[in-house]
Chain A
Amino acid sequence: MVTAQAPAWTAGVPPASDGAIDAASPAVQAVRALLANVPDPEIPAVSVIDLGIVRDVSALRVLITPTYTGCPATLAIEQAIRAALDGGGFADVAIETTLSPPWSTDWISDRGREKLRAYGIAPPPKGAAAASLKNQAPAECPRCGSSETEEISRFGSTPCKALWRCTACAEPFDRFKCH
Protein backbone atom coordinates (compact mmCIF):
# COMPACT_ATOMS: atom_id res chain seq x y z
CA MET A 1 0.00 0.00 0.00
CA VAL A 2 1.39 3.36 -0.97
CA THR A 3 0.85 6.36 1.30
CA ALA A 4 -1.50 8.98 -0.06
CA GLN A 5 0.98 11.40 -1.51
CA ALA A 6 -0.30 14.43 -3.37
CA PRO A 7 0.31 13.77 -7.07
CA ALA A 8 2.90 16.11 -8.52
CA TRP A 9 0.43 17.74 -10.89
CA THR A 10 -1.79 19.07 -8.11
CA ALA A 11 0.87 21.71 -7.52
CA GLY A 12 0.86 22.60 -11.20
CA VAL A 13 4.09 20.74 -11.74
CA PRO A 14 4.24 18.23 -14.57
CA PRO A 15 4.79 14.70 -13.35
CA ALA A 16 8.24 13.29 -13.16
CA SER A 17 9.15 11.59 -16.39
CA ASP A 18 12.25 10.09 -17.91
CA GLY A 19 14.90 9.67 -15.23
CA ALA A 20 13.25 11.38 -12.28
CA ILE A 21 11.73 8.37 -10.55
CA ASP A 22 14.18 7.97 -7.70
CA ALA A 23 11.64 8.51 -4.90
CA ALA A 24 9.24 5.88 -6.21
CA SER A 25 8.84 2.35 -4.88
CA PRO A 26 10.19 -0.56 -6.93
CA ALA A 27 6.67 -1.44 -8.08
CA VAL A 28 6.00 2.10 -9.25
CA GLN A 29 9.38 2.18 -10.98
CA ALA A 30 8.56 -1.07 -12.73
CA VAL A 31 5.19 0.26 -13.91
CA ARG A 32 6.81 3.46 -15.14
CA ALA A 33 9.41 1.47 -17.02
CA LEU A 34 6.63 -0.54 -18.68
CA LEU A 35 4.76 2.62 -19.65
CA ALA A 36 7.90 4.18 -21.08
CA ASN A 37 7.71 1.45 -23.72
CA VAL A 38 4.04 1.94 -24.59
CA PRO A 39 4.01 3.92 -27.84
CA ASP A 40 1.41 6.52 -28.73
CA PRO A 41 -0.77 4.80 -31.37
CA GLU A 42 -0.69 7.77 -33.74
CA ILE A 43 2.94 8.80 -33.23
CA PRO A 44 4.67 5.55 -32.29
CA ALA A 45 8.06 7.26 -32.04
CA VAL A 46 7.08 8.63 -28.62
CA SER A 47 5.72 6.88 -25.56
CA VAL A 48 2.73 7.75 -23.42
CA ILE A 49 5.25 8.91 -20.81
CA ASP A 50 7.08 11.17 -23.29
CA LEU A 51 3.79 12.84 -24.26
CA GLY A 52 2.76 13.55 -20.68
CA ILE A 53 -0.40 11.49 -21.05
CA VAL A 54 0.49 9.58 -17.88
CA ARG A 55 -0.20 12.00 -15.04
CA ASP A 56 0.62 9.88 -12.03
CA VAL A 57 1.60 6.34 -11.15
CA SER A 58 1.04 4.58 -7.86
CA ALA A 59 1.15 0.90 -6.96
CA LEU A 60 -2.66 0.88 -7.26
CA ARG A 61 -3.42 2.86 -10.37
CA VAL A 62 -2.16 4.71 -13.40
CA LEU A 63 -3.74 8.11 -13.94
CA ILE A 64 -3.99 9.23 -17.57
CA THR A 65 -5.41 12.24 -19.38
CA PRO A 66 -6.61 12.59 -22.98
CA THR A 67 -4.76 14.96 -25.30
CA TYR A 68 -7.94 16.15 -27.10
CA THR A 69 -11.54 15.53 -26.05
CA GLY A 70 -12.23 13.83 -29.36
CA CYS A 71 -8.89 12.09 -29.81
CA PRO A 72 -9.75 8.77 -31.47
CA ALA A 73 -6.60 7.28 -29.94
CA THR A 74 -7.82 7.69 -26.36
CA LEU A 75 -9.35 4.22 -26.20
CA ALA A 76 -6.42 2.64 -28.02
CA ILE A 77 -4.02 4.25 -25.56
CA GLU A 78 -5.92 2.89 -22.60
CA GLN A 79 -6.02 -0.57 -24.14
CA ALA A 80 -2.30 -0.47 -24.88
CA ILE A 81 -1.53 0.54 -21.30
CA ARG A 82 -3.85 -2.19 -20.01
CA ALA A 83 -2.08 -4.78 -22.14
CA ALA A 84 1.34 -3.59 -20.96
CA LEU A 85 0.29 -3.70 -17.30
CA ASP A 86 -1.28 -7.15 -17.65
CA GLY A 87 1.75 -8.45 -19.53
CA GLY A 88 4.09 -7.08 -16.87
CA GLY A 89 2.24 -8.77 -14.03
CA PHE A 90 0.33 -5.70 -12.89
CA ALA A 91 -3.18 -6.84 -13.74
CA ASP A 92 -4.45 -5.41 -10.44
CA VAL A 93 -3.24 -1.89 -11.24
CA ALA A 94 -6.25 0.16 -12.33
CA ILE A 95 -6.32 2.82 -15.05
CA GLU A 96 -8.14 6.05 -14.24
CA THR A 97 -8.77 9.02 -16.48
CA THR A 98 -8.82 12.66 -15.46
CA LEU A 99 -9.59 15.78 -17.48
CA SER A 100 -8.27 18.25 -14.96
CA PRO A 101 -5.92 19.96 -15.26
CA PRO A 102 -6.19 19.81 -19.06
CA TRP A 103 -3.30 18.26 -20.94
CA SER A 104 -0.74 20.70 -22.24
CA THR A 105 2.01 20.31 -24.82
CA ASP A 106 4.30 21.78 -22.16
CA TRP A 107 4.11 18.34 -20.54
CA ILE A 108 5.91 16.71 -23.46
CA SER A 109 9.30 15.83 -22.03
CA ASP A 110 12.56 17.11 -23.51
CA ARG A 111 13.35 13.58 -24.54
CA GLY A 112 9.93 13.34 -26.19
CA ARG A 113 10.64 16.56 -28.10
CA GLU A 114 13.90 15.14 -29.41
CA LYS A 115 12.16 11.95 -30.48
CA LEU A 116 9.48 13.96 -32.31
CA ARG A 117 12.11 15.98 -34.15
CA ALA A 118 14.01 12.84 -35.14
CA TYR A 119 10.71 11.37 -36.39
CA GLY A 120 10.16 14.42 -38.64
CA ILE A 121 7.65 16.32 -36.50
CA ALA A 122 8.56 19.80 -35.27
CA PRO A 123 7.92 19.86 -31.50
CA PRO A 124 5.59 22.55 -30.12
CA PRO A 125 6.98 25.75 -28.63
CA LYS A 126 6.96 25.79 -24.86
CA GLY A 127 5.29 28.08 -22.34
CA ALA A 128 4.42 31.67 -23.17
CA ALA A 129 5.09 31.16 -26.87
CA ALA A 130 2.12 28.81 -26.88
CA ALA A 131 -0.27 31.43 -25.54
CA SER A 132 -0.87 33.18 -28.85
CA LEU A 133 -2.43 31.26 -31.71
CA LYS A 134 -1.69 34.07 -34.09
CA ASN A 135 1.82 35.27 -34.83
CA GLN A 136 3.45 32.02 -33.81
CA ALA A 137 7.19 31.89 -34.15
CA PRO A 138 8.16 29.89 -37.25
CA ALA A 139 8.74 26.21 -36.70
CA GLU A 140 12.22 24.84 -37.14
CA CYS A 141 12.32 22.40 -40.05
CA PRO A 142 12.91 18.94 -38.55
CA ARG A 143 14.87 17.92 -41.64
CA CYS A 144 17.29 20.77 -42.32
CA GLY A 145 16.90 22.91 -39.18
CA SER A 146 15.98 26.06 -41.11
CA SER A 147 13.57 28.58 -39.62
CA GLU A 148 12.50 29.67 -43.11
CA THR A 149 9.17 27.90 -42.72
CA GLU A 150 5.50 28.70 -43.19
CA GLU A 151 2.19 27.28 -42.03
CA ILE A 152 0.15 25.57 -44.76
CA SER A 153 -2.79 24.47 -42.63
CA ARG A 154 -3.44 24.94 -38.95
CA PHE A 155 -5.20 21.57 -38.96
CA GLY A 156 -3.37 18.46 -40.05
CA SER A 157 -3.61 14.70 -40.27
CA THR A 158 -4.42 14.34 -36.57
CA PRO A 159 -5.95 16.82 -34.09
CA CYS A 160 -2.55 17.48 -32.48
CA LYS A 161 -0.68 18.49 -35.64
CA ALA A 162 -0.56 21.39 -38.08
CA LEU A 163 0.88 21.23 -41.58
CA TRP A 164 3.98 23.34 -42.33
CA ARG A 165 6.42 23.74 -45.19
CA CYS A 166 10.12 24.52 -45.21
CA THR A 167 11.03 27.10 -47.86
CA ALA A 168 14.75 26.29 -47.52
CA CYS A 169 14.62 22.57 -48.30
CA ALA A 170 11.08 22.62 -49.81
CA GLU A 171 9.87 19.72 -47.66
CA PRO A 172 6.45 19.78 -46.00
CA PHE A 173 6.34 18.62 -42.38
CA ASP A 174 4.02 18.23 -39.41
CA ARG A 175 4.26 20.53 -36.47
CA PHE A 176 2.92 19.49 -33.11
CA LYS A 177 0.38 22.18 -32.20
CA CYS A 178 0.61 24.20 -29.04
CA HIS A 179 -2.12 23.11 -26.75
Chain B
Amino acid sequence: MADAPPPLAACALRLGDDALILGQRLSEWCGHAPAIEIDLSLANVALDQIGQAAHFLGLAGEIEGKGRDADKLAFHRDVMDFANCLLVEQPNGDFAQTVARQFLFSHYQELLYAALAESKDARFAAIAAKALKEVKYHATLASDWVVRLGDGAEESRARMIAGLDWMWRFADELFAADEIDAALGLDKAALRSAWDARIDAVLADATLERPAAHRPVLGGRTGRHSEHLGHLLSEMQFLQRAYPGAAW
Protein backbone atom coordinates (compact mmCIF):
# COMPACT_ATOMS: atom_id res chain seq x y z
CA MET B 1 0.00 0.00 0.00
CA ALA B 2 1.25 3.49 -0.86
CA ASP B 3 1.99 6.12 1.79
CA ALA B 4 -1.13 7.58 3.33
CA PRO B 5 -2.16 10.70 1.40
CA PRO B 6 -2.82 13.98 3.24
CA PRO B 7 -6.33 13.97 4.84
CA LEU B 8 -7.91 16.34 2.31
CA ALA B 9 -6.52 14.33 -0.58
CA ALA B 10 -7.90 11.20 1.10
CA CYS B 11 -11.33 12.86 1.30
CA ALA B 12 -11.22 13.62 -2.42
CA LEU B 13 -10.09 10.07 -3.15
CA ARG B 14 -13.03 8.59 -1.26
CA LEU B 15 -15.47 10.79 -3.14
CA GLY B 16 -13.79 10.08 -6.46
CA ASP B 17 -13.47 6.34 -5.90
CA ASP B 18 -17.13 5.96 -4.90
CA ALA B 19 -18.17 7.71 -8.11
CA LEU B 20 -15.63 5.92 -10.31
CA ILE B 21 -16.42 2.40 -9.15
CA LEU B 22 -20.16 2.94 -9.29
CA GLY B 23 -19.82 4.48 -12.75
CA GLN B 24 -17.81 1.49 -13.94
CA ARG B 25 -20.35 -0.95 -12.46
CA LEU B 26 -23.30 0.82 -14.07
CA SER B 27 -21.59 0.96 -17.43
CA GLU B 28 -21.59 -2.85 -17.43
CA TRP B 29 -25.31 -2.57 -18.15
CA CYS B 30 -24.76 -0.57 -21.33
CA GLY B 31 -26.19 -2.55 -24.22
CA HIS B 32 -27.49 -5.28 -21.90
CA ALA B 33 -30.52 -3.74 -20.26
CA PRO B 34 -33.88 -5.27 -21.23
CA ALA B 35 -35.46 -1.98 -22.32
CA ILE B 36 -34.01 1.10 -23.96
CA GLU B 37 -35.33 3.31 -21.17
CA ILE B 38 -33.27 1.37 -18.63
CA ASP B 39 -30.22 1.18 -20.87
CA LEU B 40 -30.22 4.94 -21.42
CA SER B 41 -30.85 5.80 -17.81
CA LEU B 42 -28.13 3.57 -16.38
CA ALA B 43 -25.62 4.75 -18.99
CA ASN B 44 -26.47 8.35 -18.18
CA VAL B 45 -26.04 7.80 -14.45
CA ALA B 46 -22.74 6.03 -15.14
CA LEU B 47 -21.56 8.98 -17.21
CA ASP B 48 -22.45 11.45 -14.48
CA GLN B 49 -20.60 9.36 -11.90
CA ILE B 50 -17.50 9.08 -14.05
CA GLY B 51 -17.59 12.83 -14.66
CA GLN B 52 -17.78 13.45 -10.93
CA ALA B 53 -14.97 10.96 -10.37
CA ALA B 54 -12.75 12.82 -12.84
CA HIS B 55 -13.26 16.05 -10.88
CA PHE B 56 -12.72 14.57 -7.42
CA LEU B 57 -9.74 12.43 -8.47
CA GLY B 58 -8.25 15.44 -10.24
CA LEU B 59 -8.59 17.39 -7.03
CA ALA B 60 -7.07 14.54 -5.02
CA GLY B 61 -4.04 14.53 -7.28
CA GLU B 62 -3.74 18.29 -7.07
CA ILE B 63 -3.82 18.27 -3.24
CA GLU B 64 -1.41 15.34 -3.09
CA GLY B 65 1.01 17.25 -5.28
CA LYS B 66 2.90 14.25 -6.67
CA GLY B 67 1.97 14.82 -10.28
CA ARG B 68 -0.78 12.20 -10.43
CA ASP B 69 -3.83 13.27 -12.43
CA ALA B 70 -7.30 11.69 -12.44
CA ASP B 71 -6.34 9.09 -15.05
CA LYS B 72 -3.22 8.09 -13.17
CA LEU B 73 -5.23 7.64 -9.98
CA ALA B 74 -7.97 5.70 -11.74
CA PHE B 75 -5.77 3.37 -13.76
CA HIS B 76 -2.53 3.00 -11.81
CA ARG B 77 -3.60 2.07 -8.31
CA ASP B 78 -4.20 -1.40 -6.95
CA VAL B 79 -7.14 -2.68 -4.92
CA MET B 80 -5.81 -1.76 -1.49
CA ASP B 81 -5.31 1.87 -2.48
CA PHE B 82 -8.96 2.33 -3.45
CA ALA B 83 -11.04 4.03 -0.78
CA ASN B 84 -14.56 3.48 -2.13
CA CYS B 85 -17.29 2.10 0.08
CA LEU B 86 -18.15 -1.58 -0.33
CA LEU B 87 -21.66 -0.82 -1.54
CA VAL B 88 -20.60 0.57 -4.92
CA GLU B 89 -18.34 -2.37 -5.79
CA GLN B 90 -21.12 -4.93 -5.32
CA PRO B 91 -21.92 -6.76 -8.55
CA ASN B 92 -24.94 -5.61 -10.52
CA GLY B 93 -26.83 -8.88 -9.97
CA ASP B 94 -30.25 -8.64 -11.52
CA PHE B 95 -31.88 -5.28 -12.27
CA ALA B 96 -33.54 -5.13 -8.85
CA GLN B 97 -30.18 -5.56 -7.13
CA THR B 98 -28.73 -2.75 -9.24
CA VAL B 99 -31.72 -0.58 -8.34
CA ALA B 100 -31.31 -1.38 -4.65
CA ARG B 101 -27.64 -0.34 -4.72
CA GLN B 102 -28.46 2.85 -6.60
CA PHE B 103 -31.34 3.69 -4.29
CA LEU B 104 -29.30 3.40 -1.10
CA PHE B 105 -26.29 5.15 -2.58
CA SER B 106 -27.95 8.00 -4.50
CA HIS B 107 -29.88 9.24 -1.49
CA TYR B 108 -26.66 9.17 0.53
CA GLN B 109 -24.74 10.91 -2.24
CA GLU B 110 -27.38 13.60 -2.61
CA LEU B 111 -27.31 14.39 1.11
CA LEU B 112 -23.51 14.23 1.14
CA TYR B 113 -23.11 16.61 -1.79
CA ALA B 114 -25.67 19.00 -0.33
CA ALA B 115 -23.57 19.15 2.85
CA LEU B 116 -20.34 19.38 0.89
CA ALA B 117 -21.69 22.24 -1.22
CA GLU B 118 -21.60 24.30 1.99
CA SER B 119 -17.99 23.32 2.73
CA LYS B 120 -15.43 25.98 3.58
CA ASP B 121 -13.19 24.42 0.96
CA ALA B 122 -14.31 26.09 -2.26
CA ARG B 123 -12.84 23.33 -4.46
CA PHE B 124 -14.93 20.59 -2.87
CA ALA B 125 -17.96 22.87 -2.66
CA ALA B 126 -17.85 23.73 -6.38
CA ILE B 127 -17.74 20.09 -7.52
CA ALA B 128 -20.44 19.07 -5.03
CA ALA B 129 -22.79 21.90 -6.00
CA LYS B 130 -22.39 21.00 -9.65
CA ALA B 131 -22.81 17.25 -9.09
CA LEU B 132 -25.77 17.69 -6.74
CA LYS B 133 -28.02 18.63 -9.64
CA GLU B 134 -27.14 15.39 -11.39
CA VAL B 135 -27.53 13.17 -8.35
CA LYS B 136 -31.04 14.45 -7.67
CA TYR B 137 -32.05 12.81 -10.93
CA HIS B 138 -30.36 9.57 -9.89
CA ALA B 139 -32.16 9.45 -6.54
CA THR B 140 -35.50 10.11 -8.23
CA LEU B 141 -34.84 7.46 -10.86
CA ALA B 142 -33.84 4.81 -8.33
CA SER B 143 -36.78 5.62 -6.04
CA ASP B 144 -39.23 5.37 -8.94
CA TRP B 145 -37.90 1.91 -9.76
CA VAL B 146 -38.03 0.74 -6.15
CA VAL B 147 -41.72 1.61 -6.14
CA ARG B 148 -42.34 0.15 -9.60
CA LEU B 149 -40.67 -3.16 -8.76
CA GLY B 150 -41.68 -3.35 -5.10
CA ASP B 151 -45.31 -2.51 -5.70
CA GLY B 152 -45.34 -4.42 -8.96
CA ALA B 153 -45.71 -8.08 -9.87
CA GLU B 154 -45.03 -10.94 -7.49
CA GLU B 155 -41.70 -11.70 -9.18
CA SER B 156 -40.47 -8.10 -9.30
CA ARG B 157 -41.45 -7.61 -5.68
CA ALA B 158 -39.57 -10.72 -4.56
CA ARG B 159 -36.47 -9.59 -6.45
CA MET B 160 -36.65 -6.06 -5.06
CA ILE B 161 -36.86 -7.46 -1.54
CA ALA B 162 -33.88 -9.75 -2.20
CA GLY B 163 -31.85 -6.90 -3.72
CA LEU B 164 -32.48 -4.59 -0.78
CA ASP B 165 -31.75 -7.37 1.66
CA TRP B 166 -28.30 -7.94 0.14
CA MET B 167 -27.34 -4.28 -0.20
CA TRP B 168 -28.60 -3.22 3.21
CA ARG B 169 -25.56 -4.62 5.06
CA PHE B 170 -23.32 -2.10 3.27
CA ALA B 171 -25.35 0.96 4.26
CA ASP B 172 -23.77 1.57 7.67
CA GLU B 173 -20.37 2.10 6.11
CA LEU B 174 -21.70 5.14 4.25
CA PHE B 175 -22.20 6.99 7.52
CA ALA B 176 -19.12 5.80 9.41
CA ALA B 177 -17.27 8.95 10.45
CA ASP B 178 -13.53 9.23 11.07
CA GLU B 179 -10.76 11.82 11.34
CA ILE B 180 -10.24 11.90 7.57
CA ASP B 181 -13.74 13.19 6.90
CA ALA B 182 -13.34 15.53 9.87
CA ALA B 183 -10.47 17.20 8.01
CA LEU B 184 -13.07 18.48 5.59
CA GLY B 185 -15.51 19.38 8.36
CA LEU B 186 -17.77 16.61 7.13
CA ASP B 187 -20.02 14.78 9.60
CA LYS B 188 -21.40 11.81 7.70
CA ALA B 189 -23.10 10.38 10.78
CA ALA B 190 -25.28 13.49 10.88
CA LEU B 191 -26.71 12.60 7.47
CA ARG B 192 -28.15 9.32 8.70
CA SER B 193 -31.49 10.48 10.05
CA ALA B 194 -32.35 12.40 6.88
CA TRP B 195 -31.32 9.36 4.83
CA ASP B 196 -33.44 7.02 6.97
CA ALA B 197 -36.46 9.27 6.48
CA ARG B 198 -36.03 9.35 2.70
CA ILE B 199 -35.52 5.60 2.43
CA ASP B 200 -38.49 4.84 4.68
CA ALA B 201 -40.78 7.15 2.70
CA VAL B 202 -39.98 5.43 -0.59
CA LEU B 203 -40.23 1.96 0.93
CA ALA B 204 -43.67 2.87 2.26
CA ASP B 205 -44.67 3.93 -1.27
CA ALA B 206 -43.36 0.63 -2.54
CA THR B 207 -45.30 -1.28 0.16
CA LEU B 208 -41.99 -2.74 1.33
CA GLU B 209 -40.54 -3.23 4.78
CA ARG B 210 -37.05 -2.20 5.74
CA PRO B 211 -34.74 -5.20 5.46
CA ALA B 212 -33.89 -6.90 8.75
CA ALA B 213 -30.81 -5.49 10.46
CA HIS B 214 -27.56 -7.13 9.37
CA ARG B 215 -24.19 -7.06 10.99
CA PRO B 216 -22.66 -4.08 9.14
CA VAL B 217 -19.81 -4.84 6.75
CA LEU B 218 -17.03 -2.25 6.79
CA GLY B 219 -13.53 -1.86 5.40
CA GLY B 220 -13.73 -0.18 2.00
CA ARG B 221 -12.52 3.21 3.23
CA THR B 222 -9.31 1.63 4.51
CA GLY B 223 -8.70 -0.52 1.45
CA ARG B 224 -10.17 -3.80 2.74
CA HIS B 225 -12.35 -4.68 -0.21
CA SER B 226 -14.43 -7.60 -1.36
CA GLU B 227 -13.02 -9.88 -4.06
CA HIS B 228 -15.32 -8.14 -6.54
CA LEU B 229 -13.25 -4.96 -6.73
CA GLY B 230 -10.17 -6.77 -8.02
CA HIS B 231 -12.16 -8.23 -10.90
CA LEU B 232 -13.67 -4.86 -11.70
CA LEU B 233 -10.24 -3.20 -11.74
CA SER B 234 -8.69 -5.90 -13.88
CA GLU B 235 -11.21 -5.04 -16.57
CA MET B 236 -11.22 -1.26 -16.07
CA GLN B 237 -7.42 -1.01 -15.87
CA PHE B 238 -6.62 -3.62 -18.49
CA LEU B 239 -5.27 -1.27 -21.10
CA GLN B 240 -2.96 0.65 -18.78
CA ARG B 241 -1.75 -2.59 -17.21
CA ALA B 242 -0.96 -4.14 -20.58
CA TYR B 243 0.43 -0.96 -22.15
CA PRO B 244 1.56 1.31 -19.30
CA GLY B 245 1.33 4.99 -20.23
CA ALA B 246 -0.54 4.32 -23.47
CA ALA B 247 -2.17 7.48 -24.79
CA TRP B 248 -3.98 8.52 -27.96
Interface residue ranges, A against B (CB under 8 Å): 66, 68-72, 98-103, 133-134, 152-157, 159, 163, 177, 179
A153 to B126, CA, bound (A): 29
* A–B complex contacts, Cβ < 8 Å, 6 sampled: A69-B131, A70-B50, A70-B52, A153-B37, A163-B40, A177-B137
A100–B140 touching, CB < 8 Å: no
A69 to B45, CA, bound (A): 11
Contacts of A134 in B (CB 8 A): 140
A66 to B45, CA, bound (A): 17
Cβ of B140 to closest chain A Cβ, rounded Å = 5
B133–A179 touching, CB < 8 Å: yes
B134 in the interface, Cβ–Cβ < 8 Å?
Answer: yes
B141 in the interface, Cβ–Cβ < 8 Å?
Answer: yes
A162 to B53, CA, bound (A): 23
A70–B47 touching, CB < 8 Å: yes
A102 to B55, CA, bound (A): 14
* Residue-wise interface mask of B (118-143) relative to A, using a CB-CB cutoff of 8 A (1 in contact, 0 not): 00001001110111111011001100
- Residue in A101, A155, A179 whose CB lies within 8 Å of B141: A155
A159–B40 touching, CB < 8 Å: no
* Residue-wise interface mask of B (35-74) relative to A, using a CB-CB cutoff of 8 A (1 in contact, 0 not): 0110011011101111110110000000000000000000
B41–A102 touching, CB < 8 Å: no
Select from chain B the residue with minimum beta-carbon distance to A104.
Answer: B133
A72 to B51, CA, bound (A): 9
- Residue in B40, B130, B133 whose CB lies within 8 Å of A155: B40
- Residue in A69, A163, A177 whose CB lies within 8 Å of B55: A69
B122–A100 touching, CB < 8 Å: yes
Assign chain B's interface to a size class. 20 to 34
Q: Within B14-52, which residues are at the interface with A (CB < 8 Å)? A: 23, 36-37, 40-41, 43-45, 47-52
A50 to B64, CA, bound (A): 38
Instruction: Tell me how many residue pairs across A and B have CB atoms closer than 8 Å.
Output: 74
Cβ of B122 to closest chain A Cβ, rounded Å = 7
- Residue in A69, A100, A153 whose CB lies within 8 Å of B134: A69
Cβ of B17 to closest chain A Cβ, rounded Å = 15
- List 4 tightest A-B contacts by C-beta distance, closest first: A70-B51, A69-B51, A100-B126, A155-B41
Q: Within B127-186, which residues are at the interface with A (CB < 8 Å)? A: 127, 129-134, 136-137, 140-141
Q: Within B67-121, which residues are at the interface with A (CB < 8 Å)? A: none
A69–B44 touching, CB < 8 Å: no
Cβ of A169 to closest chain B Cβ, rounded Å = 21
A102 to B127, CA, bound (A): 9
Select from chain B the residue with minimum beta-carbon distance to A71.
Answer: B51
The winner among A68, A70, A152 for most chain B CB atoms within 10 A is A70
Cβ of B90 to closest chain A Cβ, rounded Å = 22
Contacts of A70 in B (CB 8 A): 23, 47-52, 54
A163 to B37, CA, bound (A): 9
Contacts of B141 in A (CB 8 A): 154-155
B127–A159 touching, CB < 8 Å: no
Select from chain A the residue with minimum beta-carbon distance to B141.
Answer: A154
Select from chain A the residue with minimum beta-carbon distance to B40.
Answer: A155
A99–B126 touching, CB < 8 Å: yes
A100–B129 touching, CB < 8 Å: yes
Contacts of B132 in A (CB 8 A): 102
- Residue in B55, B129, B137 whose CB lies within 8 Å of A101: B129
- Residue in A68, A99, A101 whose CB lies within 8 Å of B48: A68
- Contacts known (A69-B131, A154-B41, A154-B137); A159 close to B47, Cβ less than 8 A: yes
Contacts of A100 in B (CB 8 A): 122, 125-126, 129-130
A159 to B48, CA, bound (A): 8
- Residue in A99, A101, A159 whose CB lies within 8 Å of B44: A159
